[in-house]
Structure 1
Amino acid sequence: MIPETAEMSDHNILGGWKKFYDNLRKLRGEANEEIIYDIKRLESSYKQEIHLTNHIVFLRRCKKHGIIPKGLQLKEFPRRFGPHEKMSKMQQQTESRLLNCMININYTKSKHAQIDITKLRSSIRSSIPSLWNWLCNLMNTMRNAVHSKISRTQKEKFKALMEKNVDHFFGKIYQSNKDLLCKPTINNMSSRPLTKFEEQLLNLGLNFSLPVKNVGYAMCDTAATIELHMMNMELTDNQKNNIRTGVAKIMSQNIQKEKIKQRWETWIKNSIKSLLEDETICITKADKGNSVVIMDRNKYMEKMSTMIRTGPYTLLNHDSTPLYAKRVAEKCQELTEMKLLPENLLEKNPRSPIIYGAPKIHKKDIPLRPIVDYRCSPTYKLSKYLANIFTKVASHHEYTIKNSTEFVEELKKKKSRFGDKKVSFDVTSLFTMVPIPETLDYIKEKLESYPDLEKRTSLPIDDIMSLLKLCTSSSYFQFQDKYYQQNYGTTMGSPLSPIIAEFYLQKLELTKIKNNRSIYFWKRYVDDVFCIARSRNQEKILQDINSFHPSIQFKIEEEIDEKIPFLDIVVYSKNDYYLGHFIHRKQTQTCQYLNFRSYHPRAHKIGVIDTLLTRAIRLSDEEHVNDEIELTKIILMKNEYPASLINDRLARVKNKCLRPPNNKKDEEIKQRFILPCGGEVTSKIASYLRNRLDVDIGYLPGPKIGSIVCNAKQKFPKPRAGVYSIQCNSCPAVYIGETERDFMIRIAEHQNGIRRGSTTSPVAIHMLENDHQLDTNSFKLIVPENRKFFRKFKEALHIKNLPNKINISNGLNVNPIWCSALLNFL
């Protein structure tokens, strides 16, 4: 992370020392020269130790990234002996050894400086005990100022070396892609200039994860996750206890009490605070690419209002959420009682879908793409359930491709013919224009002809269609305090929208494309089509597919210089009529990926490297693959990934790409644990679980910058569910409870129980039997938690941690092994 640069001025430091020496002379008189000499030596030793420590960090960072500092570069080698391969290799080895040697020398010097500091501190402290604390404060102030100055200098020096290193080793590739690599990741279209630290924060990327503020709570979540999964595994009590003991031991050994709570660095906290407090700006992610867009809020609201007013939307008089929630509940309850549907498809606290806009920064006047957030809407869970069924039904369509890799494999089988031209077709506003009635009729036909439907669901076709109509009819949303209904089509954001669009385009292709002899090659990904056909017939093909339905219209893009982009690939014709391909990067591409400094688990960062390198190898032909690998290396280094790690992963990825694909369908699916990321301790726990239980591990990183600062989407207060506490006003006793509703509702119920003289509420029993009163200022939500088992697990831990409690029951039976480890973290 970037250090805070809050230094004390040289004037203030000198003033502090002057006062100290004045007091020292008053105290010691003439016998202070030896003490002053020792203090000067101590100050000098501290400065030397700080300089050496920072230099070691700088050298190690250079070693990690494969960079040789200027002072250790043997520039005379190529001048005297010429660019000979063996001599160049010898130069690299010698420079590397010099770097290691310099690290060891500095480390030895640092140790000697620390020994001198210890001796001098002991001597000075015994001589001037009354002034010792004052001297320590002055020394600490001096050390912080020197450390900040040297650290900043070393970082600037390393950054310059890094840029020069990239330019030197990847000169040709770097220069030819400089516009791409130097593209800004922040598009500030607002009237408010960003501060230096705000820019630094946003340049880390919206996906940058900050450390969890309390590692102890992450460990509680880890224990609850393991306990929940072990309930569904065939393990003996002895095996379960062994797992608990092993994990608890790792937790206890790797977390110190003072490190449980982690603080975000001051410059990060201040930058987030200043961005959130400014209500005049709107921060969001661009529609394409990975850049941050900042707009004036009034401009954003004006664009949103215009988009809704001119779009296919009708203003509603009321919120339709209660109506759809009732319909979904009635239908699902009926089918659940017949055991045709699972029980978890109802949203407990439904709200209306919310619309927001993603800025299209690559288009004139920066229009917005409408996206509807369907999460927590009445039909969201049901839509996801139906989408899983329909995805299987729609799969294996002859014209549909799953991804760019599959498209490249299809290209390898084809040769272009004389007179053929490559074109791409793109549907205009597919989701909002797809005709729902015709598509539903086609979906019903597909369900009736699908042979494995009974394996996918026990629902009859009529019930599936009834649920589908219910979901597609609920295409309403909220913007500010108003509600709108979409007149036709589906909305961007619904789980069913992609699959409904897929079915409609399949129907179009089977009608218009399958028997068209003019078309030599036709492949589609969602609404993007790549086609090879006779050049004289291309306009006719466009007219033919546009005549299928008046609401669905295609646009055509023709090849230029026998090249045409499709998805993230450029397809071109070779001299032998085979089709070549290399990676295409659009104008909106920023080359920003997960930053290596992000508090994501290492597995996620390795996943970024492997994905980009695999993409470079598989999507580039032989003529372009080496250049693409080199460019990918530069992009990863720009995101601060170490060169040594990139090269190590490259060797692994190459071996993996050379191996034949594994098509084993009967391979056992491992149970997957999702662990909250608490740093190194989480990695050790993950490794232990893999070895003992043979499971897959996923990770949940800490809070991301995007989830904190992005404010384009309207936010609603969530119910404050979780573990809460109530304090007795007359004694030290405390009640711990848990609730899935807002905890203040539950507290109101406790207060009503006291008034009614309830004999079932532990709080009421305690207050009435002892004639005590509630402390109304003590109501507190201890741990926010929406998940039922996790809530009960944490409630039980907090109850066990109480010396004086009102609770009659101890709640969930938590194994004592967990308690011994986790109670220290609460």
Structure 2
Amino acid sequence: MHLFTDIRSRYGQHTVKSIRDLENTVKKIARYQQHLTFTHRCKDNGITPSSLRISCPINTEKARNIIRKAEKDLVGERIWVVRNKINVLERKSELQKQKTLNTDDRHHVDLHIVNKRESEGTKTKQRHKVKLERLKVKHETKQKSNYLTEPDLSVSVDKIPHEEYIVACESVCSKLPTEDAKSLRTEIAGMLKSAKPPKSNISKQERVALNALKKEKEIMVMGADKGKCIVVQNKKEYESKVKEMLNDHNTYEKLTKDPTPGYKRKLVEILKRLKTENKINESQYRLLYPTAENTPRMYCTTKIHKQGNPIRPIVDYTGSIGYQTSKALAEILAPLVGTTEHHVVNSKSLAEEMTAIMIDDGDILNSHDVVSLFTNTPIEKALDVIKDRLLNDKTLNQRTNLNPDDAIALLEFICTTTYFSFRGQIYRQIFGAAMGSPVSAILANLFMEWLEREAIATSSLDCKPKLWRRYVDDVLEIIQKDSTQKLTDHLNSIDPTGNIKFTFEEDHQGKIPFLDTLIVRKEDGSLKLLVYRKKTHTDQYLNFQSQHPLHQKLGVIRTLMDRMENIVTEEADKKEEEVKIRNALRKCGYPKWSLDRVKQQIKNKQPKQRKKNKESETPSKGMVVLPYVEGVAEQAQRIFKKYGISTAMRPTNTLKSILVHPKDKKDITQTSDIVYDIPCKSCKKSYIGETGRQFGVKACLYYDDNYNYTR
């Protein structure tokens, strides 16, 4: 400030103004120079700055390539333009320099100008550095193999979830004597008061990347259809793919209004009739009554293991009017599934059976797979099949008072009222069953049992399978050579609607995958089994540094070791599989002692027995589910144990919960099964209540000018 006061007194205001103009010019030069450096860095990293990005109006790969080339050319053009601007400003600054100043004043002014230039350059550099790092994160995310590993990784929390621990405590206090409940509250409160968050299990850079992904609106982060990985894809491409699927007018139709009220009335009419006829009691009626009225929401997962990465639609029925009815029907119908000789229970039972089979020289291993079984299952035929099975079910009256007609009436309602929302538009599924409804898997399974029975009974001798084993829509066969296509054509002719279509895969070099097994034909015609991993398998399991309790991490090892023991049939292959398991888990951070401990436990088979005996001796007075926070959850577990309360741990803050949000967001008024707080506008009082209905419906009963509801 003194510099300009002196200059003004000696040379006048005009000179001060000229120096200020020079100062602004050199600050511009500093900004442009940093901008030039930033643009060069973007070019070197193959990144397009946000201001130069072009929206692609045509959804084709050729159009996207044109856009990418245009963006690259724009980056080069910007470099040329900025460089020219710097040259122009440099010449301007030379003309603005004061030649009327004496030597000392010129020295002080030059020093001031240099400082201003450096200061402006530093500020701009820091700003561009942050911007470049953010662009790099986004760019690297898009350039990766399209899936992030370890989706179940639980990130350490910054804050202890006190409320959840208190709620867990209160949920069991009513089951304890008054003094014990008071003592339990005191101990839990004291523990929470001194509890501290655990050390972060991810780096600062990883947190920055997570925050950048959370804020990124141009991409969708999804769980893969199969395998432990996360798919990252362009949001517009995802939505375009889903809408293309929904444009299939043979399967879906758009609705102009929400059908929930009408469907609810139909369901209530059926339930009232069943209650009047004493086929369901009061408690069953209350359970099945559609209190919650959430519109089901549809999302899709990507089948990265299949060519073209097709999508699988899944409907979230939780809280919908038919959800409880669908669950009840699933319990009634479940015993009907798997009663045929062709049913595969699991990989272990398959391995036990296959080791006793010999294949003749003229036979091959073959597999068939149904294309989109759920959405192609003919509902009318499936209902006929299930009704026939119920009429012949001698144990139905032991599970329910409903007769076959009653069960079919409820099932028909559930299957013919499939609707959902996607991006604000409501659709109805007019053909097939929706994956996500509790009863859909059973309906599809029972239909497949009918179809396989018809297919095997009507197949000609030259393509009749010598072995047929099925798990839902996957079929393993032993058939004659050169009969695959004929059998496939026959299978595709069984469904009267023509929608059920099979694809096939023949064995390659005597090997064929089925479920998670690889069946290998030996030279003598016998079979051996190995563990099968798809090409998209990432070898990523729950990381040992994840915020999960130790027994869950050891459970990962035990699961892999048990699979090895149950599936792999030869000792040499078991040793090779164990090496693969150890190498994969080592990369996931598992120490050697953890693997050795589990192996010893499996060998002894003692811990489970001891645990079983201990639990039988001391029956639990209740159970709580605690959010796992390292150090805190273990301490809480010891406290609850003193009072005879069992505990279970659930992970919090997983990558999936942070990043994966494929479904439409629900408005607060559409939320059900909540505790709500409605504060008064006129005073400090508020109304606290609980409802299973949609909050918007409940709030209307209380809302007036004096209340402003909040969740």
Relative to the length of structure 1, the TM-score reads: 0.60
| In structure 2, distance between residues paired with 1:215 and 1:698 | 16
Which one of the candidate residues 235, 254, 260 is aligned to 1:321?
Answer: 260
Shift of 1:449: 1.4
Q: What's the CA shift string for 1:580-636, capped at 9, x where partnerless?
A: 000110012112222222222223222212111111221112231111111111212
Seen in structure 2, the aligned counterparts of structure 1 residues 268 and 201 have a Cα distance that, compared at 3 Å, is farther
| In structure 2, distance between residues paired with 1:221 and 1:267 | 34
Counterpart of 2:666 in 1: which secondary structure?
coil
Map of 1:255 onto structure 2: 192
Map of 2:505 onto structure 1: 557
Map of 1:566 onto structure 2: 514
Counterpart of 1:635 in 2: which secondary structure?
helix
Please show how residues 520-559 of structure 1 align to structure 2 within 5 Å.
520-535=466-481, 537-549=483-495, 550-559=498-507
The answer as to whether partners of 2:468 and 2:476 remain within 8 angstroms in 1 is yes
Does 2:236 align with 1:298?
Answer: yes
Map of 2:590 onto structure 1: 641
Does 2:361 align with 1:412?
Answer: no
Map of 2:424 onto structure 1: 481
Decide which moves more: 212-221 or 636-645: 212-221
| In structure 1, distance between residues paired with 2:662 and 2:482 | 47
Map of 2:219 onto structure 1: 281
| In structure 2, distance between residues paired with 1:401 and 1:349 | 37
| In structure 2, distance between residues paired with 1:350 and 1:290 | 33
Map of 1:513 onto structure 2: 456
Letter of the aligned partner of 1:286 in structure 2?
Answer: A
Which one of the candidate residues 627, 644, 658 is aligned to 2:576?
Answer: 627
Decide which moves more: 488-497 or 410-419: 410-419
| In structure 1, distance between residues paired with 2:636 and 2:138 | 46
Please show how residues 30-49 of structure 1 align to structure 2 within 5 Å.
none
Please show how residues 350-361 of structure 1 align to structure 2 within 5 Å.
350-361=293-304
Seen in structure 2, the aligned counterparts of structure 1 residues 747 and 291 have a Cα distance that, compared at 3 Å, is closer
Which one of the candidate residues 682, 698, 703 is aligned to 2:653?
Answer: 703
Shift of 1:649: 0.7
Please show how residues 168-187 of structure 1 align to structure 2 within 5 Å.
none
Shift of 1:241: 4.7
Letter of the aligned partner of 2:230 in structure 1?
Answer: V
Letter of the aligned partner of 2:378 in structure 1?
Answer: P
Shift of 1:425: 0.9
Does 2:384 align with 1:429?
Answer: no
Seen in structure 2, the aligned counterparts of structure 1 residues 444 and 538 have a Cα distance that, compared at 3 Å, is same
| In structure 1, distance between residues paired with 2:698 and 2:426 | 31
Counterpart of 1:294 in 2: which secondary structure?
strand
Which one of the candidate residues 593, 600, 614 is aligned to 1:651?
Answer: 600
The answer as to whether partners of 2:293 and 2:319 remain within 8 angstroms in 1 is yes
| In structure 2, distance between residues paired with 1:558 and 1:658 | 43
Shift of 1:194: 4.1
Seen in structure 2, the aligned counterparts of structure 1 residues 353 and 520 have a Cα distance that, compared at 3 Å, is same
| In structure 1, distance between residues paired with 2:698 and 2:455 | 61
Counterpart of 1:698 in 2: which secondary structure?
strand
The answer as to whether partners of 1:313 and 1:485 remain within 8 angstroms in 2 is yes
| RMSD, aligned CA | 3.9
Does 2:391 align with 1:391?
Answer: no
The answer as to whether partners of 2:184 and 2:639 remain within 8 angstroms in 1 is yes
Shift of 1:529: 0.5
| In structure 2, distance between residues paired with 1:528 and 1:509 | 11
Counterpart of 1:378 in 2: which secondary structure?
coil
Q: What's the CA shift string for 1:101-143, capped at 9, x where partnerless?
A: xxxxxxxxxxxxxxxxxxxxxxxxxxxxxxxxxxxxxxxxxxx
| In structure 2, distance between residues paired with 1:584 and 1:609 | 17
Letter of the aligned partner of 1:509 in structure 2?
Answer: E
Q: What's the CA shift string for 1:407-461, capped at 9, x where partnerless?
A: 1122123222332211111112211111111111111111121122122222222
Alignment length, in residue pairs? 553
Shift of 1:729: 7.1
Shift of 1:707: 2.2
Which one of the candidate residues 165, 171, 182 is aligned to 1:219?
Answer: 165
Counterpart of 1:384 in 2: which secondary structure?
helix
Map of 1:380 onto structure 2: 323
The answer as to whether partners of 1:356 and 1:371 remain within 8 angstroms in 2 is yes
| In structure 2, distance between residues paired with 1:747 and 1:375 | 21
The answer as to whether partners of 1:221 and 1:675 remain within 8 angstroms in 2 is no
| In structure 1, distance between residues paired with 2:228 and 2:147 | 15
| In structure 2, distance between residues paired with 1:641 and 1:592 | 12
| In structure 2, distance between residues paired with 1:574 and 1:752 | 78
Seen in structure 2, the aligned counterparts of structure 1 residues 441 and 578 have a Cα distance that, compared at 3 Å, is same
Map of 1:368 onto structure 2: 311
Seen in structure 2, the aligned counterparts of structure 1 residues 256 and 659 have a Cα distance that, compared at 3 Å, is closer
Please show how residues 10-89 of structure 1 align to structure 2 within 5 Å.
none
Counterpart of 1:592 in 2: which secondary structure?
coil
| In structure 2, distance between residues paired with 1:201 and 1:512 | 40
The answer as to whether partners of 1:416 and 1:577 remain within 8 angstroms in 2 is yes
The answer as to whether partners of 1:426 and 1:528 remain within 8 angstroms in 2 is yes
Which one of the candidate residues 615, 626, 638 is aligned to 2:563?
Answer: 615
The answer as to whether partners of 1:282 and 1:294 remain within 8 angstroms in 2 is yes
| In structure 2, distance between residues paired with 1:478 and 1:743 | 19
Unaligned stretches of 5+ residues in structure 1: 1-189, 231-236, 755-773, 782-826
| In structure 1, distance between residues paired with 2:529 and 2:293 | 47
Letter of the aligned partner of 1:456 in structure 2?
Answer: R
Please show how residues 777-788 of structure 1 align to structure 2 within 5 Å.
none
Seen in structure 2, the aligned counterparts of structure 1 residues 674 and 632 have a Cα distance that, compared at 3 Å, is farther
Letter of the aligned partner of 1:407 in structure 2?
Answer: L
Seen in structure 2, the aligned counterparts of structure 1 residues 672 and 597 have a Cα distance that, compared at 3 Å, is farther
| In structure 1, distance between residues paired with 2:466 and 2:622 | 44
| In structure 1, distance between residues paired with 2:342 and 2:228 | 30
Letter of the aligned partner of 1:292 in structure 2?
Answer: I
Counterpart of 2:535 in 1: which secondary structure?
coil
Q: What's the CA shift string for 1:648-668, capped at 9, x where partnerless?
A: 0111123449999xxx9xx99
Letter of the aligned partner of 2:407 in structure 1?
Answer: I
Please show how residues 695-774 of structure 1 align to structure 2 within 5 Å.
697-719=647-669, 721-722=674-675, 724=677, 726=679, 735=686, 737-740=688-691, 752=704
Map of 2:274 onto structure 1: 335
Q: What's the CA shift string for 1:487-514, capped at 9, x where partnerless?
A: 3111222222211111111112222326
Letter of the aligned partner of 1:632 in structure 2?
Answer: I
Shift of 1:691: 7.5
Shift of 1:218: 2.2
| In structure 2, distance between residues paired with 1:477 and 1:728 | 37
